[in-house]
Amino acid sequence: MLAGLLKRKTNNTETRSNPPEKSDSLICLRNIIKTYYTAAGDFVVLKGIDADFQRGEFVGVIGKSGSGKSTLINMITGIDRPTTGEVYVEGVPVHTLSESEMAAWRGRNLGIVFQFFQLLPMLSLQENVMLPMDFCNMYESKERPERAMELLRLVGMEDHAHKLPSAISGGQQQRVAIARALANDPPIIIADEPTGNLDSRTAGHVFEMFEKMVEQGKTIVMVTHDIGLAKRIDRTLLIADGEIVNEWVFRTLPQLSHQQMLHATRELEQLVFEPGQVIMQENQLGDNFYIISEGRVEIALKRPGGDDVVVTRMGPGEYFGEIELLRQSRAIATVRAGEVPVKVMTLDRDVFMTLMSESESTRDAIDHIVSQRMNENLETRKKIQ
């Protein structure tokens, strides 16, 4: 049913322009800085944000209160404007639109779901869902009531269509808000803490609705404070102090505090290795911690008096180099790029060791991995001798 409902009717066309670097991203943010000017002084909320969102992605935006996550999505929706920087959505330079242009563009291209529902209290649920169609002149007038009913049926609220919002629960209101967000069949759904005022069971149902929308080709960007839900999302952006934490740092070292992750992000260096190129050589001193972000590496051990033998392979999100740094030893294996180029993120010895000293839980987690890998290395050496 969802696929049938998500077919928009409109004769309107919009001017497109190419985002910087001819990005193929559906949503493209470039060097976004947002400063609020107050009597108490200037407050920089976003500090040079660069982010891309691809068509059909489900992206979660997380961060502590005041980190800038809601301000970030307000840049996408045009509810707020960047102080400097550029925002492109489907090639449209959103940051250049006038208020009237913005309202019309937003109504046709974005579905927005708010934490507090924002249903108009004097309109029935059906009328609330019809409102975006009326505002943007989408669909024929005679089609709108039936489309609204179909969308309410989709979210399980058809039987309440003629009630006012005050007559239903918060969870039910959020279902109606989702139906309203789908009214004009927008390609993008922006949700700002959509489960923040719901109990866990209802929040789970709402999340399942979002998952079904993604399966049907929608792109969803959702701000959430619910870490449990965030773990179920395709990709997660963590914002700390107005900056985006590197995705691979967040995935690989989750025990670090947000500020420690941000520090690691600032210190990262990206390196590229061509196929077969050695990254670490067995028996040589290691000076870096490596996180694989693209491609695969081969882990090879040298047979006594013979050639190297590949004993395992590692891919994106996995790391190496920690044994040599923590044990202050030489490399226990050779690591080289596989059959395609490999991209790695590196932290030098001093930064890595500082993080380990500051985060006992991270040190314990990595120590556990070190012990496992050392035992595996010994067992493998016995087999290849």
265: domain CATH number?
A: 2.60.120.10
Distance between CA atoms of residues 357 and 22, nearest Å:
43
Rounded-to-5 percentages of helix, strand, coil across the chain? 40, 25, 35
**DSSP strands (E only) in the chain:** 27-38, 41-53, 58-62, 84-89, 92-93, 110-113, 188-192, 219-223, 235-240, 243-244, 269-273, 278-280, 288-294, 297-302, 308-314, 319-320, 334-337, 342-348
Q: Are residues 186 and 290 in the same domain?
A: no
**Residue 292: burial class (beta carbons within 10 Å; 0-12, 13-18, 19+):** buried
Q: Are residues 292 and 356 in the same domain?
A: yes
Q: What is the pTM of this model?
A: 0.80
Of 243, 271, 289, the domain-final residue: 243
Q: Domain of 166: which CATH number?
A: 3.40.50.300
Residue 13 belongs to some domain of the structure: no
Q: Are residues 236 and 310 in the same domain?
A: no
* Residue range of the domain that includes 133: 2-7+55-81+91-243
Q: Are residues 171 and 220 in the same domain?
A: yes
Q: Are residues 231 and 273 in the same domain?
A: no
More reliable by pLDDT, 24 or 165: 165
61 close to 73: Cβ distance less than 8 angstroms: yes
Distance between CA atoms of residues 147 and 164, nearest Å:
18
Q: Are residues 275 and 238 in the same domain?
A: no
Residue 43 belongs to some domain of the structure: no
Residue 42 belongs to some domain of the structure: no
Distance between CA atoms of residues 299 and 278, nearest Å:
10
Residue 254 belongs to some domain of the structure: no
Q: Are residues 61 and 151 in the same domain?
A: yes
Residue 65 binned pLDDT confidence (cut-offs 50, 70, 90): confident
Give the SS3 label for residue 249.
helix
The DSSP 8-state label assigned to residue 342 in this structure reads E
The yes-or-no verdict on residue 343 having pLDDT over 60 is yes
Distance between CA atoms of residues 26 and 186, nearest Å:
13
> For residue 278, how many other CB atoms are within 10 A of its CB?
13
Distance between CA atoms of residues 134 and 122, nearest Å:
16
Residue 14 binned pLDDT confidence (cut-offs 50, 70, 90): very low
Q: Are residues 235 and 316 in the same domain?
A: no
The yes-or-no verdict on residue 306 having pLDDT over 70 is yes
Q: Are residues 229 and 279 in the same domain?
A: no
Residue 31 belongs to some domain of the structure: no
- The model's pLDDT over 118-161, given as tens digits with 9 standing for 90+, comes to 899 999 999 999 999 998 888 899 999 999 999 898 888 899 99
Residue 15 binned pLDDT confidence (cut-offs 50, 70, 90): very low
- Return the pLDDT at 268: 95
Query: What's the domain count of the chain?
Result: 2
Residue 10 binned pLDDT confidence (cut-offs 50, 70, 90): very low
The yes-or-no verdict on residue 347 having pLDDT over 80 is yes
Q: What's the distance, CA 363 to chain centroid?
A: 26
Residue 46 belongs to some domain of the structure: no
Residue 290 belongs to some domain of the structure: yes
Please compute Rg for the chain using Cα positions.
25
The yes-or-no verdict on residue 229 having pLDDT over 80 is no
Residue 113 belongs to some domain of the structure: yes
- Residues in Cβ contact with 76 at an 8 Å cutoff, skipping those fewer than 6 apart: 27, 29, 87, 89, 94, 110, 188, 190, 221
Q: Are residues 189 and 71 in the same domain?
A: yes
Give the SS3 label for residue 285.
strand
Q: Are residues 213 and 72 in the same domain?
A: yes
Q: Are residues 196 and 310 in the same domain?
A: no
Round to the nearest angstrom and report the end-to-end CA distance of the chain. 61
